[in-house]
Structure 1
Amino acid sequence: MGKELLNDESLDLFDMRRLALLLEVVEQGSITAAAELMMYTPSAVSQQLRKLEQEVGQPLLNRRSRGVVPTEAGQVLAGHARKIVRQMQAARSDLGQMAGLKRGSLTVGTFPTVAGSFLPIVIRTFKKRYPAIGLSVRSARFDELVADLQSGVTGLCLLWDYPWNPFRDDSIRVTEVFRESTVILVARGHRLADREEVSMEDLRKESWIVRAEAHPVVEVLQRSAHDAGFEPEIAFLANDYQEAQAMVSVGMGVAMVPKTAVALQHPDVTVLSLGSAAPLRRVLLAQREDKVYAPAEVAFHSTLLEIAGERAGDYL
């Protein structure tokens, strides 16, 4: 019997593309609608279905003025086609997973504010989808992130830039993930704490808490203050944003920070908007331009941009 099946010419009857077209036509009830979804012309679909009917030896569709309906044979064959199409989709998925998404490792570079806010949401989703991928995260300063990416220590990394100093490197491809606003932190009892929005002019007499070691936010503050016509008076140099918030909470001064820095907000600190005047920074996903991206990198890239699209408004 096995030899008879192998020699059975009926095994050559069914072309996968024609079965898929039949299934789409039956489900849509229209050759035109199915052609549009499958990116064919209606005449090409009709021609392929006529060939399928010739191969089957009986009509599969009844043509009517408003669409088509399957014959009994058409309903039977469409039911089998549905199972076959699903099996082929599963086969493609399995092969894709074998190509890299069911094994391997990935190292991602990041910086602290994003690591403490947006990135954990991405990681949770990624690990749920691809539990077998070994994922590690390396948080570092900007120049270290770029060096790690170029040397292959990381497969991709998150960077940032501002309009007055956009990131450019011919060896690195960047994709904008989202834009985030700069906000003002004041103590809960501060004279401006009951306002939702302030201007830099409102803050000209304030003392400022900034990050130490020539942190980029210092330049953001200086540019904003100079545009408003004053030189900011620095009261405290903080080692991180949690320390900055603590000093703000006890009235040591006010602070200017990117919005992701207050994902964990101190209970005695109020966050104020600078409105349309707020400096914006871009958060970027960076990958080497000259490499072939591993399946795990492609999957992480896709997951990250998906989550960013869902939460983009959270950081403005």
Structure 2
Amino acid sequence: MDIRQLSYFVAVYEQGSVSAAARQCCVAQPSLSAALRQLEQELGVTLFIRLPKGVTPTEDGEKLYGHAGRLLSQLQSLKASFSEPVARVKFRLGLIRALGVERMSQLLREFSNSVPGLELHLVEPDEPCDARIITPQLLKAGEAFAPIWHDNYLLALPPGAPLSLQQQIALEDFEQLPLIKRTPCDAWNTLYPELVRRGIKADIRADIQTIEYALGLVSAGVGCALVPNFDSLLQRQDIVLRPVAQLRLQREIGLAYAKNQDSASLAVLRQLCQPAR
């Protein structure tokens, strides 16, 4: 086992795709795949389940990710300790919830690697900060907004649910449908008023905040929940995802910052956000 193999493993884990990880690591895909196979052979485990679209980590893969991340971070710290000291650059970034672990991890890693001496603080979006990743609805006066991602929402259903046999879910199907309410959620703010207007009463089983808990309840068969169409969710086998007909359940995510603010670190972050659109 070597650092190169662990770096490739972390890239595949965070990208959810061998080809995307190869592009990120600037290496040929066969070489990366060979290194990953060698790592699995040395550990005697399977780290990823290969799917038609990408990969998903096994339990052993999840376990290794925590160890690998800490090891690579320690290695970076070790190298930095022998480098010329650089001035610390503090940057406070406000984040709303449910942004997607994979894409946010990649963006924050690239930001940290691109600004020497960066001391990144992740805070709630309503706290004082240098920039925020938010929806346009949370934009404040005097802020500029640069779009990054555009998410569509799907309805997550337990496997075997009768509605999972349908290709899409009609609004009438929500009548007495066991539903996990998640707030704050842009899709819920669109769906719920429309259900009320039509006199459709869903069976609210829980009111929670995080996507992870919502998906856990869906997988357990407690109810259904609206979730963004993250690539990692599309690959899960313990839930079924279906679009909701008659409504556009969408959200826009972007970088917000004060129009009169000008700093080198913010310029780097703005540049990094552009390719993610």
Q: Compute the TM-score of the two structures, normalised by the length of structure 2.
A: 0.59
Q: Which residue in the other structure is 1:181 paired with?
A: 152
Letter in 2 for 1:246: G
Deviation at 1:131, TM superposition (A): 5.5
Letter in 1 for 2:147: E
> Match of 1:192, SS?
helix
Deviation at 1:241, TM superposition (A): 1.7
Q: Which residue in the other structure is 1:113 paired with?
A: 98
Trace 1:233-272 onto structure 2 (pairs within 5 A): 233-260=203-230, 263=233, 267-272=237-242
Trace 1:122-161 onto structure 2 (pairs within 5 A): 122-128=107-113, 130=114, 132-140=116-124, 145-148=125-128, 154-161=129-136
Q: Which residue in the other structure is 1:305 paired with?
A: 274
Q: Which residue in the other structure is 1:81 paired with?
A: none
Contact 1:105 1:296 in 2 (8 A): no
Letter in 1 for 2:106: I
Structure 2 segments unaligned to the other structure (5+ residues): 1-85
How far apart, CA to CA, are the structure 2 residues paired with 1:131 and 1:109? 18
How far apart, CA to CA, are the structure 2 residues paired with 1:261 and 1:217? 18
Q: Percent identity?
A: 15
Deviation at 1:187, TM superposition (A): 0.4
How far apart, CA to CA, are the structure 2 residues paired with 1:227 and 1:137? 42
Letter in 2 for 1:243: Y
Q: Which residue in the other structure is 1:61 paired with?
A: none
> Match of 1:253, SS?
coil
Letter in 2 for 1:301: R
Q: Which has the higher helix share?
A: 1
Q: CA, structure 1 residues 229+137, in 2 after alignment: closer, same or farther (shift >3 Å)?
A: farther
Contact 1:207 1:254 in 2 (8 A): yes
Letter in 2 for 1:116: V
Q: RMSD value over aligned CA atoms? A: 3.0
Deviation at 1:286, TM superposition (A): 0.5
> Match of 1:126, SS?
helix
Residue of 231, 251, 257 corresponding to 1:287: 257
- Aligned pairs, how many? 192
Contact 1:222 1:231 in 2 (8 A): no
Deviation at 1:211, TM superposition (A): 2.4
> Match of 1:277, SS?
coil
How far apart, CA to CA, are the structure 2 residues paired with 1:264 and 1:273? 12
Residues 1:221 and 2:191 aligned together: yes
How far apart, CA to CA, are the structure 1 residues paired with 2:186 and 2:131? 22
How far apart, CA to CA, are the structure 1 residues paired with 2:198 and 2:232? 24
Residues 149-206 of structure 1, C-alpha deviations (whole Å, 9 max, x = no match): xxxxx21110114xxxx44532212122222112101001111224443222233231
> Match of 1:169, SS?
coil
> Match of 1:268, SS?
coil
Deviation at 1:265, TM superposition (A): 6.7
Q: CA, structure 1 residues 226+182, in 2 after alignment: closer, same or farther (shift >3 Å)?
A: farther
Q: Compute the TM-score of the two structures, normalised by the length of structure 1.
A: 0.53
Contact 1:117 1:263 in 2 (8 A): no
How far apart, CA to CA, are the structure 1 residues paired with 2:160 and 2:218? 11
Q: CA, structure 1 residues 272+115, in 2 after alignment: closer, same or farther (shift >3 Å)?
A: closer
Q: CA, structure 1 residues 196+133, in 2 after alignment: closer, same or farther (shift >3 Å)?
A: farther
Letter in 2 for 1:271: L
How far apart, CA to CA, are the structure 2 residues paired with 1:302 and 1:132? 16
Letter in 2 for 1:254: C
Trace 1:58-69 onto structure 2 (pairs within 5 A): none
How far apart, CA to CA, are the structure 1 residues paired with 2:180 and 2:120? 33
Structure 1 segments unaligned to the other structure (5+ residues): 1-100, 149-153, 310-316
